[in-house]
Amino acid sequence: MHEDTIAAISTPIGEGGVGIVRLSGPEAIAIADGVFVSPKGSRLTDAPTHTIHYGHVVDDGRRIDEVLASVMRAPRTYTREDVVEIGCHGGIVATRAVLDAVLARGARLAERGEFTKRAYLNGRISLDQAQAVADVVCAQTRLGLEAAVDRLGGRFSSAIAALRDELAALLADLEVDIDFPDLDVVVDELLPRAEAIEARAADLLARAERGAVVREGLTVAIVGRPNVGKSTLLNALLAEERSIVTPVPGTTRDTVEEVVSIGGVPVRLIDTAGLRTPTDLIEAEGVRRTREATKKSDLVLLLVDRSKPLADEDRDLIRTEWGVPVLLVLNKSDLPAHVGDVPRGTSIDRIEISAKDGANLPALTGCLVELLLGGEIPSRNTILLLDTWERDLLRRLRDGVARSIAAMREGLTPDMVAEELRSAYVASGDLQGIDVSESILDAIFSRFCVGK
């Protein structure tokens, strides 16, 4: 348990119905009691655990706000420490005044993710579950939320714990052979067990790679000449008027970015400035930003106006090597076609739509799923939400087991086989949060907001 008491605002900053100031630590109840006044004269220090109390927060004799104070005593709390949550009226002024009052009484302002970090350090949750808390808070799609909740329930932790136990059993058998060679432990008999561990680790890694797409999202740049319907398409995919649409070419001078869920995956759509020879410095900067946007994209939607003859600039764009998959979109199918023959260029596929009236937009979305996700829409049972560090550890676990299998097949000595298994065992421990360094913990919990 920590000796200091921390406090922070746990609700989003801004206007709202309710704001919550959270305290955690050995003096949480006493500090809250120092600013809380009940009309009945009762004290929070005498309150039973998991009870809510009506009153006011008072500072220097002045009433700050009318509040509800929730008292939760250790160890049945989120951090396994004494916790008080003061529910006041929403709004930055009220919540900040309540926070200042408890800080003046001896609480310390919490660091990013410190409440969840304390929950982990006090054994309330595993490191894996702590990361899942951040994923729940940051989920951008329903699928992302479902996967994060699954992880919060300990699905990944249980899988890694089982692999670690089996690695320990394998190592124990090898150590017997190393320490007592007269017992004749047959290394070949351990091979099927190692292969089963490798297969399960590989399956977890495959799920994690699919989950990376759901967790981190994908980026699609909408490009084309001015006035081909890029902004109209963005608005249609978002089902809202996000970009300005006018008949004047070059309306979009900067990139406009929004996130939409496609197949359960957050996809960042970038509406870009029209690509043509710039007529002024502002348009030139817009064209430069368009080029930069395509460099960080996973796919390019190249729009062409099918109601007009194909221009030389259209042909140049179609022939461009974008470095990512390209979907050629022939827009304005609601108008007579005058585009003529369109060269294939580097595009993988093409589709005709009308961004204005929404014609064939479902087919466009299907093409995006095919090109971005290989046609397979992920589900909560086929993905794991792991960050880059965790995926690397899982990869090291799998590779260590794979090397031990190769050593067994080559007839190498038991101590050489055991060395490879130990590396996998260490990686499994790191995934469970065993002996993880303080710097790694700081990096993990820095993803959190202050009040979490």
Give the CATH class of 142-211+387-432: mainly alpha
Q: Which fold is adopted by the domain 219-373?
A: Rossmann fold (3.40.50)
Q: What is the pLDDT of residue 371?
A: 82
CB neighbour class for 415 (10 Å; exposed up to 12, middle 13-18, buried from 19): exposed
Look at the pTM and tell me if it is higher than 0.85.
Answer: no
Give the architecture (CATH level 2) of 6-126.
2-Layer Sandwich (3.30)
pLDDT of 184 strictly over 60: no
Confidence of residue 253 (pLDDT cuts 50, 70, 90): very low
Residue bearing the bigger pLDDT, 433 or 348: 433
Residue bearing the bigger pLDDT, 233 or 287: 233
Q: What is the pLDDT of residue 391?
A: 92
User: Which value, in Å, is the radius of gyration of the alpha carbons in the chain?
Assistant: 29
Ranking 122-136, 165-179, 218-232, 279-293 by mean pLDDT, the lowest is 279-293
Q: What is the pLDDT of residue 227?
A: 82
pLDDT digits (tens, 9 = 90+) for 327-360: 899 999 989 988 888 777 655 678 899 988 888 8
Q: What's the mean pLDDT in 279-304?
A: 70
Confidence of residue 14 (pLDDT cuts 50, 70, 90): confident
The two tokens of residue 295 are: 């460099």
Share of the chain above pLDDT 70, in %: 88
Going from N- to C-terminal start, the domains of the chain cover 6-126, 142-211+387-432, 219-373
How far apart CA 91 and CA 83 sit, in angstroms, is 22
DSSP assignment of 189-258 = GGHHHHHHHHHHHHHHHHHHHHHHHHHH-EEEEEEESTTSSHHHHHHHHHTS--S---SSTT---S-EEE
Confidence of residue 77 (pLDDT cuts 50, 70, 90): very high
pLDDT of 242 strictly over 60: no
Cis preceding linkage at 75, omega within 30 = yes
pLDDT of 187 strictly over 70: no
pLDDT of 287 strictly over 70: no
Ranking 39-48, 131-140, 189-198, 302-311 by mean pLDDT, the lowest is 131-140
What amino acid is encoded at 5 in this protein? T
pLDDT of 1 strictly over 90: no
pLDDT digits (tens, 9 = 90+) for 28-37: 999 999 999 9
Three-state secondary-structure class, residue 83:
strand
How far apart CA 169 and CA 156 sit, in angstroms, is 20
Mean pLDDT (the chain) is: 84
Cβ(275)–Cβ(313) under 8 Å? yes
Cβ(121)–Cβ(130) under 8 Å? no
